[in-house]
Amino acid sequence: MLFDLRDVDCERGGTIVLRAVTASIPEGASCVAGPSGSGKSTLLRLLNRLADPDSGAVLYRGTDVRERDVLDLRREVCLVPQLPALLDGDVAANVRFGAELAGRDTDVGRVLRLAGLDDSYAGRDAGRLSVGEQQRVMLARALALEPRVLLLDEPTSALDAESTGAIEETLTELRERLDLSVVLVTHDLAQARRLADWVVRLESGRVMATGAVRDLIPA
């Protein structure tokens, strides 16, 4: 299994967000689906230790994430947040940022193309891009780390239908071109069906069901 969550409890700001969550997420394309406030984003943040559970364990490929070097883990299991949060400067500097921290060179043009942007974006001011373009730059800078797993937190929640379709197309292409597992958080069951093969359904911090998308989210 890619991830195993074992009896995970998590509290944020005095509120229990996840309770007794036990679930497995296999290699490939999976999603964590549920309504707003069900604990999806919190669960995603546990997978690369942006947060730790109050009790229980999170295993990545059979090893407790707490036994891994946290920085290496985050470069291997890279999270793209829900809203764009780019650094000041141009697109190229943003794309190179994480890879440079890891001491790697980046082919900026290549990762921009993987994220659905052309080379001309490299010199543009990141702060002047549209939300959809910024979201693609967020994706590009994650891809620059050459991760084995991408964690995507509602990657299209701030986008219109056209941009959503384009991002979904890019994500599908990425999976075909790169040896990459994806865990996607979404409240949109139709999107879960389009992009994922496996689903963990959450409601009020509890796992309601886990299994193949075709079984749990029928068309």
**Cα Rg of the chain, angstroms:** 17
According to the binding rule CB under 8 A, does residue 13 interact with other proteins? yes
What residues from 17 to 56 belong to the interface with other proteins (CB under 8 A)? 48-52
Give how far Cα 99 sits from Cα of 106, 172, 178, Å.
Answer: 7, 23, 17
**CB 25 to other proteins: min, Å:** 18
Q: Which of residues 54-93 bind other proteins (CB under 8 A)?
A: 70-72, 74-75, 78-81, 83, 85-88
Q: At closest approach, how far in Å is the CB of 81 from other proteins?
A: 5
**Tokens 């090893």 identify what position?**
63
Please identify, using beta-carbon distances, which residue of 14 and 218 lies nearer to other proteins. 14
Task: Check binding of 190 to other proteins (CB under 8 A).
Answer: no
Give the residue among 60, 62, 59, 42 at the shortest CA–CA distance from 51.
42
- Is 12 a binding residue for other proteins by CB under 8 A? The answer is yes
What residues are paired with 3 via a beta bridge?
Answer: 25, 60
Helix (H, G, I), strand (E, B) or coil at 123: helix
Q: Are strands 3-12 and 63-64 parallel, antiparallel or unpaired?
A: unpaired
Q: Letter for the amino acid at 193?
A: R
Q: Minimum distance from CB of 214 to other proteins (Å)?
A: 31
CB of 181 to other proteins, least distance (A): 16
By CB under 8 A, tell whether 97 contacts other proteins. Answer: yes
- Full DSSP string of 69-81: -HHHHHHHEEEE-
The partner residues of 21 in beta bridges, in order of sequence, read 8
Distance from C-alpha of 183 to C-alpha of 151, rounded to nearest angstrom: 5
Q: Does 1 interact with other proteins (rule: CB under 8 A)?
A: no
Of 49 and 187, nearer to other proteins (C-beta) is 49
Quick check: 145 binds other proteins (CB under 8 A)? Answer: yes
Residue ranges that bind other proteins, judged by CB under 8 A: 12-13, 48-52, 70-72, 74-75, 78-81, 83, 85-88, 97-98, 101-102, 138, 141-142, 145
